[in-house]
Amino acid sequence: MLARQHPDARCPRCASRLRYGLKREGSGWKVQYVCPPSDGCGREFSVGRIDHGSVDSEDEAYRRAERLGSTLY
């Protein structure tokens, strides 16, 4: 999974900056947020999934994954 730095999402447990990424799974991606073990607690959060059919490109999937970060609070 290629994880990207989220602009403002923070870990609900330790308040470190989170990374997010898409994990291929069946007909779509699973959206995962990761608290980097290097400067956080190492927890992973699954915030939902995106179907291939509902987006035009992987870039759009990443943009949607970024917005899902607000559901962590």
* Site for Zn ion, rule CB under 5 A: 11, 13-14, 16, 35, 40-41
Q: Give the position of tokens 């999974």.
A: 1
Contact at 8 Å (CB) between 21 and 55? Answer: no
State the nearest-atom distance from the C-beta of 14 to Zn ion, in Å: 3
Residue closer to Zn ion, measured from CB, 10 or 64: 10
Q: Please give the Cα distance from 33 to 8 (Å, whole number).
A: 12
State the nearest-atom distance from the C-beta of 38 to Zn ion, in Å: 11
State the nearest-atom distance from the C-beta of 52 to Zn ion, in Å: 30
Residue closer to Zn ion, measured from CB, 31 or 35: 35
- The per-type count for the chain, helices as H runs and strands as E runs, is 1, 4
